[in-house]
Amino acid sequence: MKGLKTIVFISLLVLTAVNVLFGVNLKGTTIYVAIRSLPETDFFMEKTAEFTRETGIKVRYVVYPELQLREKIVMDMVSGQGAYDVIALDCVYVTEFAEKDWIYPLDEFVDKKELSDFFEKVLGLFTHKGHLYALPVYSEITHLMYRKDIFDKLGISVPQTFDELWETAKKLNNPPKMYGIAMRGLRGDGMNVYTWTSFLRGFGGKFFDENWHPVFNNEAGVKATEFYAGILRNFGPPGVSSYTWDDVQSAFTSGKVAMIMDANNFMTRIEDPSKSAIAGKIGYALIPAGPSGRHPGIYSMGLAISKIGAKTEKEKLAAAEFIKWATSFDIQLDCALQRGVVSSARKSVFNNPAFQAKFGEDTYPGWLSSTVKSYELANPQFRPLIPEWREVGNIIGIAVEQVIAGGKSAKEALDWAAKEAERIMRESGKLK
Amino acid sequence: MFFIALTPFVFSILVSLMDYNLMYSSSPRFVGLRNFVQLIQDERFLNALRNTALFVVSCVSIEFMIGLPLAYLIYISVKKRILRNLIIVLITFPMMFPRVTSGLLWKFLYNPLFSPIGQFFQKVGIPFAPLSDPHTALFAIIFVDIWQWTPFFILILLSGLESLPQDMFEAASIDGANEKQKFWYLALPSLKPICWIAIMFRTIDALRTFDTIYVMTGGGPGIATETLDIYAYLIGISQGGRISYASSAALVLLAISVIVANLLVRFFREGEV
């Protein structure tokens, strides 16, 4: 009996000690967060005092512009300085960072039940070799946005296939008053390639074969590029070959373009009457299907813990606490309701009655359903999640832009890109 | 001072002889001149070389050919000091813009849907999207450079003209020379050294034009406006990690700058004699 008492006593002591070590001791820990400014991140940055009050963890933000953020983080990692404990990370970099052993897996910090609340495909973007490395702050899928008022007036139905998309764009094209369609034209792995890939996959194409030989220049790739460039050249606004997502958005909100295919969170701006001439006149739908089905684009930016920065156990735990808080249901729902941003990847946010009342089908026809459905349809490997992607993607971007701008045939441009991609895969060692 | 200037230079030469890639190679090896051999066979590099040459030659020559007569025109027709200063202030206005700002300004002016110029062309029915067409994009940027940097020539050549002895022109007038003759036989020969200096400065400056091109097209459409600077930046830092290869490309640019500058200095010396 006495022995049992001792055991209980000792285990209590140990538990308290653990508690003191891990629970209370996080108080006063300061973590540094490298991040970029987005409506989503601005929102939790403003609320950080609440987090500090609850946990005692102090948070310092280092805010960089989008283009510099990666350079600064990589510099910090390579030099071994470790200035940041938490880093904002694009999903396309996760594999690279994980392979270089720069970030911790988050599996031990987040329980399964909590994880099941996120769209599976978004977590897939942050998963490498079975481990989860980041939690999503900002997520998007691509879908079709169209002028519902015009479609209704002319009795046109929403295009469901690539062929119908072509026909609809042709029918609605009436320059210079109205152009049929606009999509990203400017080169870049996250620019034109992002929307072009829906067509590559839709026509049944792939980027690489099993041995990492580039195959995006085969028949499907050529077809996809001819379609993408063709529809934009014939029915797109002038200058579309250098369109960024921002240009796509401005052209649409000016009322001069009938359809666009881009990110679902465009909604916040294109439905804002102070910024958009077409607020309340827009319909949303899944992107059209090719011979090989529908392939919406998917992208996410998440928060990860730096192995170089968070060296001590305390920093690591504090960083994990911060990430869980910043991506929590409360933060993301409040952000959506107060700021009108809709980039959460939490099912509970999308199922929330207040969220559904604000962004429901009555107000924004088709938006909610096509967003949720696209998250289910999407493939995390939409763009290959490999460290070489950025370089390869940029090369493909050049080829696609050349075809849209004119002067090069799809075959010619893609063959060049494939040759360059092969060199890159050889340099990286994936291709022997 | 010498040390500070030399360290990065020596470092970049060393790097250009290796196969260092920020993304993939953990232990860079020396590969000799392999990068340079690859450069000569690289379609994209040769394209950048052509674009750089076309850009620099057209910008500098056109700016000079507009700048010189304008400077002379101001010199002979505006004699009042205050008026001349006012004109100089107005004329150098484009130069005051940071390149990023002027680039963004013109990017907007070239916008076919939203800019007044674009809307005018749309009404007339002429297709107008200069930055999105590979055949016109570089010329659209050259035009911006001319708009911004012709004042540089006017400014320097005008002060050159002002420093010439007045009696020379008066004597010519008494002898019955007209303005055209005075320009060709008096002003131009005496201005020669200053012309070469202005051309040299502008050439070296134009060789490393980065900001304007970067904000206006980023090197596109495709690779139509990639100059050596842009190309080296894209492959070395922004879109890949081929540091060694990019260093080699940058060294070629440096070599070209040095050669061109030397040639111009030689012309300048001959002009002195």
Q: Convert the pLDDT of each residue in A338-375 to its tens digit.
A: 999 999 999 999 999 999 999 998 889 999 999 999 99
Closest CA to A287 of A380, A172, A370, A203: A370
Average pLDDT over every residue of A103-129 = 94
pLDDT band of A5, cuts 50, 70, 90: low
DSSP single-letter state for residue A290: B
Residue B26 token pair: 């953990």
CB proximity list for B115: less than 8 A, separation 6 or greater: B108, B109
CB atoms near residue B8 (< 10 Å): 9
Lowest mean pLDDT among A133-147, A185-199, B60-74, B116-130: B116-130
DSSP code of residue A207: S
Q: How confident is the model at residue B26 (pLDDT cuts 50, 70, 90)?
A: low
- Is residue A425 within 8 Å of A214, Cβ to Cβ? yes
Query: Could B220 and A405 be called an inter-chain contact, meaning their C-beta atoms sit closer than 8 Å?
Result: yes
Closest residue in B to A67 (Cα) is B238
Reported confidence tier of residue B271, pLDDT bands at 50, 70, 90: low
**Is residue A238 within 8 angstroms of chain B, CB to CB?**
yes
A256 CB neighbours in chain B (<8 A) are: 113
Closest chain A residue to the Cα of B135, Cα to Cα: A407
**E strand spans, chain B:** none
Residue of chain A whose Cα is closest to the Cα of B240: A391
Q: What pLDDT band is residue A7 in, cutting at 50, 70 and 90? A: low
Asked if the Cβ–Cβ distance from B112 to A251 is below 8 Å, we say no
Considering only the beta carbons, identify the residue of A237, A239, A387 that sits closest to B23. A387
**pLDDT classification of A11: cutoffs 50, 70, 90:** low
Band of residue A8 on the pLDDT scale cut at 50, 70, 90:
low
Three-state SS letters, B206-225: HHCCCHHHHHHCCCCCCCCC
Give the pLDDT confidence of A317-331 residue by residue, as tens digits. Answer: 999 999 999 999 999
Interchain proximity A416–B218, CB inside 8 Å: no
CB contact under 8 A, B239 and A390: yes
Q: Is A405 on the interface with B (CB under 8 A)?
A: yes
If you average pLDDT over residues B103-114, what whole number do you get?
92
Chain B, nearest residue to A243 by Cα? B132
* Helix (H) or strand (E) run with residue A231 in it: helix A219-235
Q: A-contacting residues of B 204-263, CB under 8 Å? A: 217-218, 220-224, 234, 237-242
Q: Which residues of A touch B42 (CB under 8 A)?
A: none
Q: What confidence tier does B145 reach under pLDDT thresholds 50, 70, 90? A: very high
| Contacts for A282 with CB less than 8 Å, ≥ 6 apart | A145, A146, A147, A148, A270, A271, A364, A365
A141 three-class SS:
strand
Q: Which of A189, A398, A432 has the highest number of chain B CBs within 10 A, making it the mutation to test binding with B?
A: A398
| Distant-in-sequence, close-in-space partners of A104: CB < 8 Å, separation ≥ 6 | A133, A304, A305, A307, A310, A316
User: Which residue in A44, A21, A1 sits closest to A327, CA to CA?
Assistant: A44
Across the interface, whether the CB atoms of B234 and A238 are under 8 A apart is answered no
* Interhelix angle A48-55/A313-326, nearest 10 degrees: 130
- Locate the chain A residue with the closest alpha carbon to B136: A405
The residue of chain B with its CA nearest to that of A391 is: B240
Q: Which contacts (CB < 8 Å, 24+ apart) does range A153-160 have?
A: A158/A283, A158/A285, A159/A259, A159/A288, A160/A288, A160/A289
For B134, the closest of A239, A407, A428 (CB atoms) is: A407
Nearest chain B CA: its distance from A44 CA (Å): 29
pLDDT at A20: 47
Are A391 and B23 within 8 A, CB to CB? yes
- The phi and psi torsions of B128 (rounded to 5 degrees) equal -140, 105
pLDDT over threshold 50, residue A6: yes
Over residues A45-64, mean pLDDT? 94
Q: What is the pLDDT of residues B232-263, one digit of tens each?
A: 999 887 777 788 899 999 999 999 989 988 88
Residues of chain A with Cβ-Cβ distance to B118 below 8 Å are 238
pLDDT at B25: 67
Q: CB contact, 8 Å: A239 with chain B?
A: yes
Helix (H) or strand (E) segment spanning residue A212: none
**Nearest CB partner across the interface for B134, out of A74, A96, A406:** A406
Residues 13-42 of B with CB under 8 A from A: 21-25
How sure is the predictor about B190, in pLDDT bands with cuts at 50, 70 and 90? confident
**CB-based contact A408 B237, cutoff 8 Å:** no
Residues A237-248, mean pLDDT to the nearest whole number: 93
CA A172 centroid distance within chain: 30
Instruction: Give the distance from residue B121's alpha carbon to the nearest chain A alpha carbon, in angstroms.
Output: 11
The pLDDT assigned to B273 comes to 47
The answer to whether the predicted template modeling score (pTM) of the entire model surpasses 0.80 is yes
The pLDDT value given to residue B267: 79
Question: Do A186 and B220 make contact, defined as CB atoms within 8 angstroms?
Answer: yes
pLDDT band at residue A261 under the 50/70/90 scheme: very high
Q: Are A214 and A421 in contact (CB under 8 A)?
A: yes
- Shortest Cα–Cα distance, A406 to chain B (Å): 7
Average pLDDT of span B222-234: 92
Residue A370 · residue A285 · CB < 8 Å? yes
Asked if the model's pLDDT at residue B119 lies above 90, the reply is: no
Q: What is the mean pLDDT of residues B17-46?
A: 85
Which of the residue ranges A114-123, A397-406, B182-191 would you say has the lowest mean pLDDT? B182-191
Q: Measured between CB atoms, which of A78, A239, A416 is closest to B132?
A: A239
For residue A379, what is the DSSP state?
-
pLDDT for the residue A10: 59
More confidently predicted of A288 and B242 = A288
Q: Tokens standing for B203?
A: 């050439």
Euclidean distance between CA atoms B191 and B161, whole angstroms: 7
The two tokens of residue B72 are: 């002379």
What is the arithmetic mean of pLDDT over A420-426?
A: 93
Q: How many CB pairs under 8 A join A and B?
A: 97
